[in-house]
């Protein structure tokens, strides 16, 4: 296992990084990226054990209880560790589904998994292509590189070209696992490519954006961003400019029949993890709503209580769907436990579809001060502090600092840069709502539902 210091040093590997049009030579020297490195390093130190120990994020659950325990632990991991676990689980899921047709790819995936575990590396899944004109297939685009593709096949590997978007934590990871973004058709063999690429491979560039608060990076009081100043990760726009990938790192190279296998496998694990996060976030939103209602003296007002009750139902139902996905998990021939496709997708769809309404309830309950509450510096100022203390308090036990910090936390968590990132991510993680509806419909027992209806109608 690596220590946090060894992880920090491993990032100084010559990778090609950019932020705001500038080349970044060292992640830790870039204020807008350094918090992500610090969070991952802390995770390494948390789990470090000398000798041949292996982190729990490399375990593939073999029972429902192990799956439940891992999801509980996942909520405490940094984003890079989460993407590592979900990505490797997706790869092993794909290996299980490909084994009969392509045992050589299954063997490569399992060897790659063992290598990642042995070297204690972090990885991300590079799946979403640039896509160009969305109504056109990869082969119909005016630029064939708009979907990542194989541009050269060699005896010892392949050369790929293209771009992948929305890749959380790419800059803080060691491995980039490329997967097809959709099912490819006959004639689109070059776009049916899955492989693992080191982040520092020649030809790889990572163009970063981040929701890290700009004020915190310049030294402004982190109490204004109580969550995002410590918990933020870069988002990577990955470019593969004729990158050579050796055969042992190639998991699909033209077999269109399995081009969607990787996306479906990744979707399952990302949606399960997304549901676990939505259950936790549902509790946080509900807690904030109750606290700010109490601080404002409105917790007994009927419409406020109704909104909070609806938030309670939301958090409870998302968690119930998560529990159903775990309790109805199925075991593969390899002994690996896979969550229920039906309950995972239905729960993720419900949680994502209703998320905006829960945030709306919180904002409606909290009011405009979520955005306009004076800053901590205003409270501390000898010129303005007395005014803030006088007018931001509400009652005995609710002073200006307590109420202001609640407002700042709600803004940071739901209405500032991190809040916007989280809002879109909760909707899009694991694919959009349509994909979850499609998978839910595919796995729903429609035959039984029809039979029950026919019996009621006397037509059985």
261 is in an annotated binding site: no
* Residue 80 backbone dihedrals phi, psi, to 5 degrees: -65, -40
* Per-residue tokens: 264: 């479906």
CA gap 411, 281 in Å, rounded: 14
Q: Which residues of 398-422 are buried (b: 16+ CB within 10 A; e: fewer)?
A: bebbebbbbbbbbbbbbbbbbbebb
* Residue 64 backbone dihedrals phi, psi, to 5 degrees: -60, -35
Cα-based distances in Å from 22 to 16, 26, 147: 11, 12, 26
Within 8 A by CB and 6+ apart from 220, the residues are none
Q: What is the dihedral of CA 266, 270, 271, 276, to 10 degrees?
A: 150
* Per-residue tokens: 189: 């063999």
Looking only at the bridges linking them, the beta strands covering 234-246 and 204-210 are antiparallel
CA gap 77, 172 in Å, rounded: 14
- Known binding-site residues equal 168
- Known binding-site residues for FAD equal 168
């Amino acid at each position: 296992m690596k220590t946090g210091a060894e992880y920090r040093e491993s990032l100084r590997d010559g990778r090609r990084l950019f932020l705001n049009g500038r080349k970044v030579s060292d992640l830790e020297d870039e204020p807008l990226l350094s918090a992500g490195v610090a969070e991952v390093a802390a995770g390494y130190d948390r789990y470090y054990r000398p000798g041949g120990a292996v982190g729990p994020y490399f375990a593939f659950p073999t029972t429902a209880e192990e799956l439940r325990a891992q999801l509980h632990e996942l909520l405490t991991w940094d984003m890079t560790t989460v993407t590592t676990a979900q990505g490797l689980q997706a790869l092993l899921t794909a290996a299980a589904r490909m084994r009969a047709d392509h045992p050589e790819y299954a063997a490569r995936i399992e060897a790659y998994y063992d290598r990642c575990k042995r070297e204690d590396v972090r990885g991300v899944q590079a799946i979403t292509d640039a896509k160009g004109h969305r109504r056109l297939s990869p082969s119909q685009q005016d630029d064939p590189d708009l979907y990542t593709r194989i541009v050269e096949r060699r005896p010892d590997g392949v050369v790929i070209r293209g771009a992948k978007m929305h890749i959380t934590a790419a800059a803080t990871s060691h491995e980039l696992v490329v997967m097809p973004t959709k099912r490819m058709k006959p004639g689109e063999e070059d776009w049916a490519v899955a492989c693992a690429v080191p982040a520092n491979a020649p030809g790889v560039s990572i163009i970063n954006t981040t929701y890290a608060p700009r004020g915190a990076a310049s030294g402004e009081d982190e109490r204004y961003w109580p969550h995002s100043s410590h918990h933020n990760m870069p988002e990577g726009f990955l470019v593969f400019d004729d990158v050579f990938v050796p055969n042992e790192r190639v998991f699909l190279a033209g077999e269109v029949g399995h081009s969607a296998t990787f996306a479906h496998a990744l979707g399952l694990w990302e949606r399960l993890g997304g549901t676990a996060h939505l259950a936790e976030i549902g509790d946080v939103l509900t807690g904030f709503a109750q606290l700010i209602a109490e601080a404002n003296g409105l917790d007994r007002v009927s419409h406020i209580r109704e909104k909070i009750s609806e938030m309670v139902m939301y958090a409870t139902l998302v968690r119930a769907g998560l529990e159903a996905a775990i309790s109805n998990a199925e075991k593969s021939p390899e002994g690996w436990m896979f969550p229920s496709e039906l309950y995972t997708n239905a729960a993720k769809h419900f949680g994502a579809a209703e998320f905006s309404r829960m945030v709306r309830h919180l904002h409606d309950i909290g009011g405009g001060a979520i955005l306009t509450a004076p800053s901590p510096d205003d409270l501390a100022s000898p010129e303005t502090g007395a005014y803030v203390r006088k007018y931001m308090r509400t009652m005995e036990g609710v002073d200006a600092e307590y109420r202001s910090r609640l407002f700042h936390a709600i803004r940071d968590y739901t209405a500032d840069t991190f809040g916007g990132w989280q809002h879109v991510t909760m909707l899009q993680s694991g694919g959009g709502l349509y994909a979850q509806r499609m998978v839910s419909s595919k796995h729903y027992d429609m035959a039984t539902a029809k039979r029950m209806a026919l019996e009621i109608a006397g037509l059985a």
